[in-house]
Amino acid sequence: MATELKSSKYRCPQCGAGDFSVTTTQWRCDACGQAFACASGIPRLFVEARLGSQDRKLRDTFYDGLFGRLYQVMMPAIVMPVRPLAMSWPYWIAYGVVVAVLLGLVVGLVDALASGAFALAGLLAAALAVAGWLLSRQRYLLHLMWVAVPAWLSLSRKPYAPPESFAQVHERVLAPLRSAGRRLQVLDVSTGSCNSLYKHGWMDLDADYTAIDLSETMLKQGSDMMSAAGVPVDLVLGDAMELPFQTDSFDVVLSYGAVNGLTDPSKAIAEMARVAKPGGVLLFLDEQIYDAATAVERAYFMKVLSSHNVIHRCPVETFPPTLTDVRVSQVYQFYYICTARKAA
Ligand SMILES: C[S@@+](CC[C@H](N)C(=O)[O-])C[C@H]1O[C@@H](n2cnc3c(N)ncnc32)[C@H](O)[C@@H]1O
Ligand SMILES: [Zn+2]
């Protein structure tokens, strides 16, 4: 049986209307009749043909692929040169094992060829070919192999003191929200595993949560995590560049680690501004390198951390004029947080 969802926060990606007839397997727009199938009860509120080419490519090869399935392991591995050893040592051990195995294969191959053990040489060459094929498909891992140690050495020589820390930026935004005195609507764009939405203080608010992502693999992890934590959240499969939400719907619009990698980052920011209520706040984080970076740190940034991105810094000059109080804080060597307010 279908439930009627009338004049909701949702917006039909086909015609812009807000009324849907909802079942567990599909949402049908009352105005244009377009049906949107659900994946595990989560509506797919986007039109496949309208996705940007970069977004489709990243979803299909990255977030719905190996990287997305192993996201909880891959992400900390990629950032291990920036993290304190106390947090990242298991990844350094895994890295050491992988490098030792690869070197062992090369040495073994040379040795087998030199001693005429051609069957063994064939086996070792096949193993190396498989490793080479895997690394060529995940280029950032190939580059991580050679740049991890030099980047770590370079970074550990000079600790970074941000003008405003990650925690301070969050507190600046969260403090007035905690005393808002009314129930807030919070949206997390490109929420992935819902990790950042859950972790950075947003759960302390008196709020309803909505979270959107394009990848089923990633959003399934978010759904599992939020259910395990007992946090009700409206999950949507959709496109950050065409948010399926009505204009002026949210008090807070967040996004962590996604904007720079979208086909059109400026369009996504304009969409985040559109769905924010007048007076609402935007906060988003992504990759941007600090001014004092060394050559090896730049190589690590461009070849590993920011390698899948379309832009490599906050595109502040393209913000819509509705955004005021714009502040960009370089919170870590390789990450900025941008905060802004939609004009009231
Ligand atoms: C690096 S992950 C960040 C996930 C999460 N925000 C976090 O902090 O862990 C980037 C996310 O952006 C999502 N994404 C990529 N293109 C998107 C698009 N066009 N619309 C919505 N989400 C998108 C990916 O599926 C992925 O989950
Ligand atoms: Zn419609």
Mutate to test the pocket of ligand 1, among 195, 214, 275 (most ligand atoms within 8 A of CB): 214
Mutate to test the pocket of ligand 1, among 190, 237, 308 (most ligand atoms within 8 A of CB): 190
Dihedral sign for Cα atoms in the order 195, 196, 200, 203: negative
CA 69, CA 238: separation in Å to the nearest integer? 19
For residue 160, the CA-to-ligand 1 centroid distance in Å is 27
Looking at ligand 1, which atom is closest to the CA of residue 190?
22
**DSSP strand pairing (26-29 vs 20-22):** antiparallel
Looking at ligand 1, which atom is closest to the CA of residue 75?
1
From 170, 226, 239, select the one nearest 194 (Cα to Cα). Answer: 226
The CA-atom distances, in angstroms, between 30 and each of 2, 40, 249, 302 are 12, 22, 20, 46
CA 207, CA 223: separation in Å to the nearest integer? 18
- Domain boundaries for CATH 3.40.50.150 within the chain: 166-342
Output the residue whose Cα is nearest ligand 1's atom 10. Answer: 258
For residue 102, the CA-to-ligand 1 centroid distance in Å is 32
Looking at ligand 1, which atom is closest to the CA of residue 63?
25
Mutate to test the pocket of ligand 1, among 48, 71, 166, 213 (most ligand atoms within 8 A of CB): 213
The CA-atom distances, in angstroms, between 218 and each of 56, 68, 87 are 14, 6, 23
Residues enclosing ligand 1, CB less than 6 A? 55, 58-59, 63, 190-193, 195-196, 213-215, 218, 239-241, 256-258, 262
Residue ranges of alpha helices (H) inside the chain are 53-58, 66-69, 71-78, 85-114, 118-137, 139-156, 166-178, 195-199, 216-229, 265-275, 295-300
Tell me the three state secondary structure of residue 104: helix
Q: What residue type is assigned to position 65 of the chain?
A: G
pLDDT at 6: 79
Binned average pLDDT, 10 residues per bin, the chain of 344 residues? 83 96 95 96 96 95 90 92 92 95 96 95 96 88 95 93 97 98 97 97 98 97 97 98 98 98 97 98 98 97 96 98 98 98 96
CA 316, CA 101: separation in Å to the nearest integer? 45
For residue 272, the CA-to-ligand 1 centroid distance in Å is 14
For residue 269, the CA-to-ligand 1 centroid distance in Å is 14
pLDDT at 122: 96
**Considering every ligand atom, which ligand is closest to the CA of 221?**
1
**Considering every ligand atom, which ligand is closest to the CA of 62?**
1
Q: Could you tell me which CATH number the domain at 166-342 has?
A: 3.40.50.150
For residue 71, the CA-to-ligand 2 centroid distance in Å is 34
pLDDT at 66: 83
For residue 111, the CA-to-ligand 1 centroid distance in Å is 46
**Considering every ligand atom, which ligand is closest to the CA of 67?**
1
